[in-house]
Chain A
Amino acid sequence: MSSSTVPAIGDLATELASPGPVVLAQAEWPTAPGDTLPGVPGFVTSTFSPLVVEVAQRCLHAFFGPAPADPARGERTGVVLASSTGDLATAAAVAQAVGQERRVPPMLFYQSTPNAVVGYLTARWALSGPVVCTVPLGDATADARACADLLIRSGDADAVLVVVADQARAPHQSDHAAALLIGPGSWTERDALT
């Protein structure tokens, strides 16, 4: 994204009058009993990052096809990752190591924040818009979409991949994640790229 695509601060009100974004693609995980999570290179111990990657890639693939996204759109696509739990398993593994006075496995450093897995996704899909990670307290999807809406309305992105992911907190529960790609309706037009 070049700086010339950013509205001057005095022009934002005009920018806000443009048509709102639409849902370009969506995905969920799991979609059926027995749905599996492929591993993600470099991410260990926890299902959080594989969960985010799987649901995000299903959504991105549904719209862009195989990775990467086309450059013109990828550079205008941001990511919002919302998780009420965050990566509980990684945090618990670090806490356990600290509690037992063991060295923390260095691999856990690289997955120590939710941003990390977003870096994996954005590198693979060439998405170079802003990255926002939140802990929603109310309706997670609504809050994440509100963050995405601000990114688009302020001109910081044209489209946003919204991922809401939560790990199971009890043995009878399952990890769950949903993803939406929201962006301009014009992106669904066949010749929009030309």
Chain B
Amino acid sequence: MADSGQAAITGMAATTAFGRGLTPVLDGVLAGTPAFGGVTRFAPRRCRANAAAELPGTPVLAEELAAVIEAAWAAAGLADGQRAGCPLLLALHCDPAAARDPDARQVTGDTAAAVAGRCGLGATPRIYMAACVAASTAVIDAAAMFAAGQASRVVVAAGYLVDADSFAMFDAGRSLAPDGQVRPFSAGRRGMLLGDGVAAVVLEAAATAAHRDAPVLARLAGWGRSGDAYHVCQPRPDGSGLARAVGMALARAGADPAEIGYVNANGTGTPFSDASEAAALHTALGARAALTPVSSTKSVHGHALEASGLVELIVTVLALRSGQLPVNAGFLGPDDECRLDLVLTPGRERQGRYALSLNAAFGGANTALLVEAA
């Protein structure tokens, strides 16, 4: 079914270190209470950092993914009989077991196939592994599939559970905050921290959602994606790549920067990346950049790597619907390179009909999702 490309979000579910379900993560981001603690799932050896945002126990990714897909499907008010043929786009981190399995090809694929089979969705799911823009890229592709007439309903799911290999690798890259706090855009910020994130969203072509009178939670009004063409792992210092993605998202929706009431920033809390993102916002939003509320909720739920884009999209939708803005936690003081209107205290009310969710990744990949309140 061909459509204009506008996508309706009709169901969503998330699991984070705050717990399973949407209410715990919404409460956490609105309160600005970080979920970080000492790592319990494994013992970080020879690492500078020792904190992450983890679910208790030993969650299994395939089971957590199936659970959020089921919950999102139910929230969308869809019947089991409508599952067959619905594409499943998955954003996954490389399974640590793959590095220890001689038949490695099967590990990640088996997880994806098991999730798809268990949920009765898409016979051959597509797996996005584009680092921190994997999930947002999957969301964009879903909307593009609607526009191309390739689908009218898509489930996007994503999952990352904090693991020893990633922890050790990011620690080796001196990216993890040794002080146990993520402080996006703040003076004295020292890095990111990993966090569990498993999420699912049901996206429907606008006409499809309207036809069945679906409960529309929000609309994906526009998107942008771009490359920096700059560096293996650092963003372009002037933020011009991310700024182009924001500009594309606004242009698609015909939206004005003044209509943006909230930016859920990529905000990893690393010195270089946050300064680049602040520059991008000033380029893309012009004079409105200093007046647009910004927060990075990685400061409370951590960085969910490939799943971060979906967790943060859901947080953005929840914020739009609640009318209150998530807090940028960990702030110590202003940084001249990050002159933004940060949301520093709970209870700030949302103005404007749109919100932006931004993500950026290694390789200079950038995405911008423009979400419109339903």
Partner of B99, one of A79, A88, A123: A88
Q: How many residues of B contact A (CB 8 A)?
A: 77
Which of these binds chain A: B31-39, B102-110, B308-316, B326-334? B102-110
A183 at the interface (CB under 8 A from B): no
Cβ-defined contact, A132 with B130, below 8 A: yes
Cβ-defined contact, B6 with A135, below 8 A: no
Cβ-defined contact, A119 with B230, below 8 A: yes
Cβ-defined contact, A116 with B363, below 8 A: yes
* B144 proximity list for chain A (CB < 8 A): 150-151, 153-154, 156
* A109 proximity list for chain B (CB < 8 A): 169-170, 172-173, 175, 233
State A99–B361 Cα separation when bound (angstroms).
27
Cβ-defined contact, B364 with A136, below 8 A: no
Cβ-defined contact, A153 with B147, below 8 A: yes
Shortest distance between the CB of B61 and any CB in chain A (Å): 14
A2 at the interface (CB under 8 A from B): yes
- Map CB proximity to B onto A82-122 as digits: 1 under 8 Å, 0 otherwise: 00111010011011011001111110111111111111101
- Given that A3-B244, A122-B364, A143-B126 are contacting pairs, would A95 and B165 also be in contact in the complex, using a CB cutoff of 8 Å? yes
Shortest distance between the CB of B259 and any CB in chain A (Å): 15
Interface residues of B in 348-364 (CB under 8 A from A): 361-364
User: How many of chain A's residues touch chain B, expressed as a range?
Assistant: 35 or more
Cβ-defined contact, A169 with B105, below 8 A: yes
Q: How many A-B residue pairs have CB under 8 A?
A: 242
B325 at the interface (CB under 8 A from A): no
Q: Which of A10, A12, A108, A111 has the most CB of B within 10 A?
A: A12
- Given that A113-B363, A127-B227, A150-B141 are contacting pairs, would A119 and B233 also be in contact in the complex, using a CB cutoff of 8 Å? yes
B254 at the interface (CB under 8 A from A): yes
Cβ-defined contact, B104 with A150, below 8 A: no
Cβ-defined contact, B96 with A132, below 8 A: no
Which of these binds chain A: B13-21, B63-71, B218-226, B288-296? B218-226
B307 at the interface (CB under 8 A from A): no
A185 at the interface (CB under 8 A from B): no
- Given that A3-B247, A117-B232, A137-B124 are contacting pairs, would A130 and B365 also be in contact in the complex, using a CB cutoff of 8 Å? yes
State A104–B5 Cα separation when bound (angstroms).
44
Cβ-defined contact, A122 with B222, below 8 A: no
* B133 proximity list for chain A (CB < 8 A): 115, 131
A133 at the interface (CB under 8 A from B): yes
- Given that A109-B169, A113-B131, A113-B361 are contacting pairs, would A94 and B251 also be in contact in the complex, using a CB cutoff of 8 Å? no
- Given that A42-B232, A134-B128 are contacting pairs, would A119 and B364 also be in contact in the complex, using a CB cutoff of 8 Å? yes
B252 at the interface (CB under 8 A from A): yes
* B232 proximity list for chain A (CB < 8 A): 42, 110-111, 116-117, 119-120, 123
Partner of A137, one of B109, B174, B229: B109
Shortest distance between the CB of A4 and any CB in chain B (Å): 7
Q: Which residue of A lies closest to B93 (CB)?
A: A113
A6 at the interface (CB under 8 A from B): yes
Shortest distance between the CB of B331 and any CB in chain A (Å): 27
Shortest distance between the CB of A166 and any CB in chain B (Å): 8
* A118 proximity list for chain B (CB < 8 A): 227, 363, 365
Partner of B169, one of A75, A108, A122: A108
A38 at the interface (CB under 8 A from B): no
Partner of B129, one of A7, A92, A117, A135: A135
Q: Which residue of A lies closest to B116 (CB)?
A: A137
* B231 proximity list for chain A (CB < 8 A): 119, 123
Shortest distance between the CB of B264 and any CB in chain A (Å): 20
Q: Which residue of A lies closest to B175 (CB)?
A: A109
Partner of A10, one of B4, B172, B241: B4
- Given that A91-B99, A92-B99, A104-B168 are contacting pairs, would A132 and B229 also be in contact in the complex, using a CB cutoff of 8 Å? no
Q: Which of B5, B100, B225, B232 has the most CB of A within 10 A?
A: B232
Interface residues of A in 121-160 (CB under 8 A from B): 122-123, 125-138, 143, 147, 149-151, 153-154, 156
Cβ-defined contact, A154 with B147, below 8 A: yes
Q: Which residue of B lies closest to A49 (CB)?
A: B232
Q: Which of B124, B144, B361 has the most CB of A within 10 A?
A: B144
Cβ-defined contact, B362 with A3, below 8 A: no
- Given that A12-B4, A109-B170 are contacting pairs, would A102 and B46 also be in contact in the complex, using a CB cutoff of 8 Å? yes
Cβ-defined contact, A116 with B127, below 8 A: no
Q: Which residue of A lies closest to B221 (CB)?
A: A9
* A37 proximity list for chain B (CB < 8 A): none
* B363 proximity list for chain A (CB < 8 A): 113-119, 122, 131
Shortest distance between the CB of B218 and any CB in chain A (Å): 15
- Map CB proximity to B onto A1-45 as digits: 1 under 8 Å, 0 otherwise: 111101111101100100000000000000000000000001000
Known interface pairs A115-B133, A128-B244; 13 further A-B residue pairs with C-beta atoms within 8 A, sorted by A's residue number: A1-B226, A2-B247, A3-B244, A7-B252, A91-B104, A94-B169, A116-B362, A119-B231, A132-B141, A135-B109, A135-B127, A137-B112, A151-B144
Q: List 14 A-B contacts (CB under 8 A).
A: A9-B254, A12-B4, A91-B94, A91-B96, A103-B46, A116-B362, A119-B233, A123-B229, A128-B227, A129-B226, A131-B225, A132-B130, A132-B365, A147-B126
